[in-house]
Chain A
Amino acid sequence: MSQFQRFLAKRLAISIGLTLIAVSVIFVVLRLLPGSPFEALVTSGNLNQQQINEIRALYGLDQPMWRQYIDYMTSILTFQFGYSILRSQPVWDVLEPRLVNTLILLVPALVTTAILSSAIGMYAGWNRGSLLEKGSIITTTFLRSTPVFITAIFFIIMFAYNFELVPAFGMRSVTASPEGYIDTFLSLDFLHHYILPFTVAVLYYSGDFLLLARNGIVEKRGSEFLKLHKAKGLTEMQQLARAGRNSMLPILTYFALRLGMIFQGLILLEVVFGWPGIGRELVLAIQQQDYPLVQAAVFIMALAVIIANLAADVLYAYFDPTVSTGGGSSA
């Protein structure tokens, strides 16, 4: 096995271990919660004891704890999430469209901001001390430190309420009844609802990319290879392009990490804009104690992070030969 393969195997093993532990932690936390979603059904008096027992058996709650744990692990790890208690639908049928809605909002936003704010950041870093540099730093510091729902509220008040340019809530207007994804997303009505949350997401993500890119360029500015390029007579922009290419790696890995946090990152954005994504669904499910739905949503969020971390690590080790791949964590 080459060194890189060994590194890969170790990272993979760690990721699998982490997944198992994370799933177990979710199990324990959910078991610790007092009360159960069935209690509401039971106390409403609509069920007799026999029916209650049947329901408990249906969800495997009459089994000993270790049995429940094994069943839980196998079902979660095979993506059999069971039935949502309150929606009386398979959990996956509830979650799938929500996942798509979240992805369709946040992936384009993340890509846009990664490209745009990295470019601005590089330009700002190249022109140190310029007005653009100072301005962009203040703006992004505000945007990345302020909780996203505050920025969203400011934008809603301005563009939805005062200027009445866009709707403040939802993904489609109430009267729309689209069939299927294409019908849902390819319409002016959708675009109309999309602009505001998309913009806020772009702005919220922008800070870290901008600073990463700026710092990368600032570090490279005095380096030898740029002096060489300068001596060769390249223009400023050409030099900047060379320096930029050399500071892409941190941006790329950061992009991977952000992508992993996409489902959990902007729960509040989804809540404020009434966007029917997985984050908002999770909050609703927690409030209604719909545990099968909760554990599936949290598991998906954790899994996304674990996979993205793995990807970021591998990406870094693969592209940067100076990172030691031998010891894994001995960097």
Chain B
Amino acid sequence: MSTETKPKGQLYKRLDRIRGIIRNQFEFLRQDRLATIGVIFVAGFVFLGLFGPALAPHDPIEHDVRNDDGQILRLAEPSGEAVLGTTAFGKDVLSQFLAGAQPTLIVGLFGGIGTGAIGFLIGLVSGYYGGWVDELLMRLTDLTFSLPFMPMALLLLTFVTPNIWLMTAIIAGFLWKMPARVVRSEVLSVRERTFVKSARASGASDLRTMLYHVAPNVLPIGFLYTAYGVAWAIAAQASLAFLGFGDPTMTSWGRMLRQVFESGNMRVAWWWVIPPAIGIAAITTSVFLIGRAYEEVINPEIQTEQ
């Protein structure tokens, strides 16, 4: 690791700076009450995603909840044996809820980061170079806009066994278009500013100018859209799982809702519906609330982007 070669003081200074940035972000978010609530929910969600499967009292799929006589409890209301009741298949709802956060977190996090990163790079290159590069990349963006996301994702997921990494890739592969457009239009205005022009005039290469002078100025928007990407990815993953195109080996919140919907037990088994439904609604809304707080700061005008 490079930590050995660097003088310790410099490393500490760097760490301090990072800590300062993080502290500032939290200070900022604390001022917005809605964003604070959002942060709390997201923290709880990340915790569930990391440790949920370990916390689950039973295996979400294998284990059958039984009563004292050894009979499998099906569609049992919340009770001592199963705190959140059981499913029609005699599974523990609480365990499924806890374990189900993990795929949601993985797809959300990586799908969001993928969306943000691809979109940022394409927007940056497209806006900076302009000309035929811009034309090509923007027509590619138009193409992903015109290929309907949901149907295409469903089609692709029918011919390979869906797993969460594939879903992540498909989601990022379709959603990058949003940040790409916004970042590009932002780059177009940054490119014309004096410091970029003077950097180029003083002989900096295109790559250097783009990465050191333009990119940092559009980074906040990249981050914002990464956050939105997380919410979109979570929503997309839940929707695909609800339609039966989720990872068949993992319990996810979307899949729980599919099972309760498909089995026709939605009418009676409220305890089976509410936890995953609230889980998905809470996490997507939280991410958006945090995003909103940043949006106000970064640029009041871009709030209008879809």
Contact = CB atoms under 8 A, between A and B. Distances in A.
B273 to A, nearest CB: 6
A268 B292 CA distance: 26
Interface in B210-252: 231, 235, 238-239, 242-244
A74 to B, nearest CB: 20
A211 B273 contact: no
Contacts of A271: 242-243
Q: How large is the interface on B (under 10, 10 to 19, 20 to 34, 35 or more residues)?
A: 35 or more
A145 B38 CA distance: 13
A264 B288 contact: no
A8 interface: no
Contact of B231 (A25, A145, A212, A267): A145
Interface stretch (B59-67, B111-119, B133-141): B133-141
Contact of B281 (A150, A218, A272): A150
A108 to B, nearest CB: 21
A273 to B, nearest CB: 11
A301 B151 contact: yes
A105 interface: no
B30 to A, nearest CB: 18
A18 interface: yes
Contact of A212 (B155, B156, B284, B304): B304
Contacts, number: 137
A266 to B, nearest CB: 9
Q: How large is the interface on A (under 10, 10 to 19, 20 to 34, 35 or more residues)?
A: 35 or more
B151 A298 contact: yes
Nearest to B237: A147
B156 A29 contact: yes
A150 B235 CA distance: 10
Contact of A264 (B149, B287, B301): B149
6 contacts: A29-B155, A33-B155, A147-B235, A150-B257, A208-B306, A301-B148
Interface of A: 14, 17-19, 21-22, 25-26, 29-30, 32-34, 137-138, 141-142, 144-147, 149-151, 153-154, 156-157, 161, 168, 208, 211-212, 215-216, 218-219, 250, 254, 257, 261, 263-264, 267-268, 271-272, 279, 282-283, 286-287, 289, 294, 297-298, 301-302, 305-306, 309, 329, 331
Given A153-B277, A257-B306, 4 more contacts: A18-B146, A29-B152, A219-B300, A267-B151
